[in-house]
Structure 1
């Protein structure tokens, strides 16, 4: 297929301004610091996100399209250094040889032929490991939406596709979850052909303990971005976002929102038992916060950011929604026996990119953080936020406190605990931020004890870091 003449990348909001890609790979040491970096932070903050290597052709759909680029800030003894690197898949290498984009965006269905990329890559979809980055079992992995991750070196050089010894050849989710008690990694993967949805478990040694296991009761391909994990269950929320390849081949959207199908929540027993389903009215979620089981009655509590529908393109669901009462931080209480869901709105503020201290996953927790909209109405793009917000959820509700970032556009907050301590006050929240007045980018370090007081340190990044998506704090391994 050929690129649509109607596609003009200069008119795509998420290819401009604070979202615009950067192409230079940079190394810098002794970064300038405003304030004082906590000396107990010894490790690296990494963030992956969409960053097209070349000007896109055909279409560009944020936040799904784009090559992966990982930005890293190494902190040690109060000092900082920086490095960024592309995730070099075989498709990107072919494009670098050609000096231009050869694959179109997801909606364009432009796939190069053998004359351009050779027989192996011809007519294949381009890998997009551009959403998240995690470390597990000694492997640093750049993660795609539902595809094989790419393994990276500690200094962010691409080592190759990771299939876990060939046992997970179709790939995994962009949001796997690590059980802090057992050390297991839980993953899922959706596909365009049966089985449409599978799950798997990986052990702390990197060996697959349970291979791809089909989820019964899924009769069509659906998009699922995130998951949650409890001590007994994988929790998957199947919103009515269905893939429609026939429509895409005929110039339509490759994702169809079908609210009449409703949203279903799957509780998948980690021991391989039958899946338990609960039905609800249609809603969408990009990201979960955490999930756990109520010890009194076995009900499953799932906290997440709810959206009225999946919306991509000019007004993506990851951005600024209409306020129709169905958006906001939400708690779903799922009865696995009766198959019923009761939802409680914890806050209706415009928020996204929720995170907790990863050590509390699968159990009750105290605090969560999100990127937020300050409400000043200064023309932020969809997916752009100018505040950070913290919630205390111990009393069954959600008490919120906010730090207004002013002229800074901020990203996902990630918790970096102080070694040897527990509790949300013993650590720091890290995030990249870009100044809307001059496009300078910073790593912000905010205190866990009182984060609304603002950063204790700001690290000047030598290049602009495009906004979005997900990151992690990796303490130095002994």
Structure 2
């Protein structure tokens, strides 16, 4: 089917303004710094996000559609340099040879024939490694929603598709979780055909040590964006967002929200045993902050809760302070593996998304959570935020202490934690995020101290190109 006659990319909010793609690849040294860069920050901040190489055809659905582009800021001895590069999949290279887009967005189902893309790529779906970026076992990976990642060089050149020695040919999730104690990376992958959901473990040396293993009790194809990891379990939250290819082929939505099915939470034992399921009322989550085991045998899950799935113009509820009264914000679920129940408590109703912690605490109790937030202004589009918010998950967990920094004219992204090397305190470090000025389109990397985040950045690094808003990043310290 084709949507080319009705699709107008100039009317898609996420292709304009602060979200508009950039096409120039840039190298720049000695970036201008306002303030002073902390001497202890030595490494690279990388962020991946949707960035169509050519004007999309057929449809465009943020944040899933779009070519990947990595933006890197290298920090060392108080100085900074920058580089950005596309994730050059074979499909994108074919489009570059043609000089225009050959594949339509996911909703349009436009696939090129052999005369356009060659026999090997004809009638295949385009890889979209534009969601996240991680490093594990010496591999720097640009991650897709549920597909093979692409391996990148330290200089951000594309090295090719990563199948982990052919053991994970279907790919992995966009949000793997790396255990800071064992060095293992846990992953999952959903599919449109059985097995609909599988999980795997990749050892610290990069070898697949477990899986892909089908998740017992999954009988439909559904979308699962994020996951969590504890000492005992891999945690997957299956909201009732089901793929409907028949509807997509006839011009309808390819994801159907069926709240009557409720939301199920799978606790998958990392070291063997049957899956433990917890059933709950329908809710959606994009991102999980953290999870950990408790002394009573339960699992605590901290995440951002939404009443329903949103895509495109409805993605992540926008950055404003208003909206659906059912929005629940930062939420904690107490999951009982034996009873199969989940008791949810709202921790804060502020409009927030993109939660991050100090990754050294992943799978264990973490005191601090950083999020992108809305200050309450109403002129931001969906998925855009103009503040950062931090939660201190102290003893009074039902009322966590929250601090906020209003970014003013800056639209900010996901905050990533960069610890101070050698510091014994898990909270000692800096929060890093890209930000774009809504008045002139300039982009900055903000460096915000964890000891006083509400005080704002101690340094702002001017980026020589505008960095489109969204999505996920990582801090990779220089190895000593």
* Correspondence for 2:308: 309
* Correspondence for 2:38: 38
* Correspondence for 1:299: 298
Is 1:282 paired with 2:259? no
Matches within 5 A, 1:237-276: 237-276=237-276
Deviation at residue 376 of structure 1 after TM alignment: 2.9
Q: Deviations over 1:316-364 (max 9, x none)?
A: 2353572313320000100000001100000000000000000001111
Matches within 5 A, 1:70-109: 70-109=70-109
Is 1:353 paired with 2:340? no
* Correspondence for 2:135: 135
For residues 318 and 225 of structure 2, the distance between their equivalents in structure 1, rounded to whole angstroms, comes to 15
Q: Deviations over 1:153-176 (max 9, x none)?
A: 001000000000000000000000
Deviation at residue 314 of structure 1 after TM alignment: 2.1
Alignment check: 8 A CA contact 2:358 2:427 kept? no
Deviation at residue 114 of structure 1 after TM alignment: 0.9
SS at match of 2:411: strand
* Correspondence for 1:461: 463
Alignment check: 8 A CA contact 1:229 1:361 kept? yes
For residues 88 and 25 of structure 2, the distance between their equivalents in structure 1, rounded to whole angstroms, comes to 12
For residues 430 and 420 of structure 1, the distance between their equivalents in structure 2, rounded to whole angstroms, comes to 19
Is 1:156 paired with 2:156? yes
Q: Deviations over 1:229-249 (max 9, x none)?
A: 000100000000000111101
Deviation at residue 2 of structure 1 after TM alignment: 3.8
Unaligned runs of 5+ in 1: none
* Correspondence for 2:477: 475
Matches within 5 A, 1:173-188: 173-188=173-188
* Correspondence for 2:215: 215
* Correspondence for 1:429: 431
* Correspondence for 2:331: 330
* Correspondence for 2:203: 203
Query: After alignment, is 388-397 or 7-16 more displaced?
Result: 388-397
SS at match of 2:93: helix
Deviation at residue 422 of structure 1 after TM alignment: 3.3
Alignment check: 8 A CA contact 1:425 1:450 kept? no
Alignment check: 8 A CA contact 1:309 1:317 kept? no
Query: After alignment, is 317-326 or 409-418 more displaced?
Result: 317-326
Q: Deviations over 1:193-239 (max 9, x none)?
A: 00000000010000000020000111110000000000010000000
Over the aligned positions, Cα root-mean-square deviation in angstroms equals 0.9
Deviation at residue 311 of structure 1 after TM alignment: 1.5
SS at match of 2:314: coil
Q: Deviations over 1:145-192 (max 9, x none)?
A: 000000000010000000000000000000000111111100000000
* Correspondence for 2:18: 18
Alignment check: 8 A CA contact 1:318 1:352 kept? no
For residues 306 and 88 of structure 1, the distance between their equivalents in structure 2, rounded to whole angstroms, comes to 34
- Aligned positions, number: 476
SS at match of 1:282: coil
Deviation at residue 3 of structure 1 after TM alignment: 4.1
Alignment check: 8 A CA contact 1:60 1:107 kept? yes
Report the TM-score, using the length of structure 2 for normalisation: 0.98
Unaligned runs of 5+ in 2: none
For residues 120 and 479 of structure 2, the distance between their equivalents in structure 1, rounded to whole angstroms, comes to 38
Q: Deviations over 1:293-332 (max 9, x none)?
A: 111x111000000000002122223535723133200001
Q: Deviations over 1:47-96 (max 9, x none)?
A: 00000000000000001100000000000000000000000000000000
Alignment check: 8 A CA contact 2:13 2:381 kept? yes
For residues 422 and 450 of structure 1, the distance between their equivalents in structure 2, rounded to whole angstroms, comes to 18
For residues 163 and 319 of structure 1, the distance between their equivalents in structure 2, rounded to whole angstroms, comes to 35
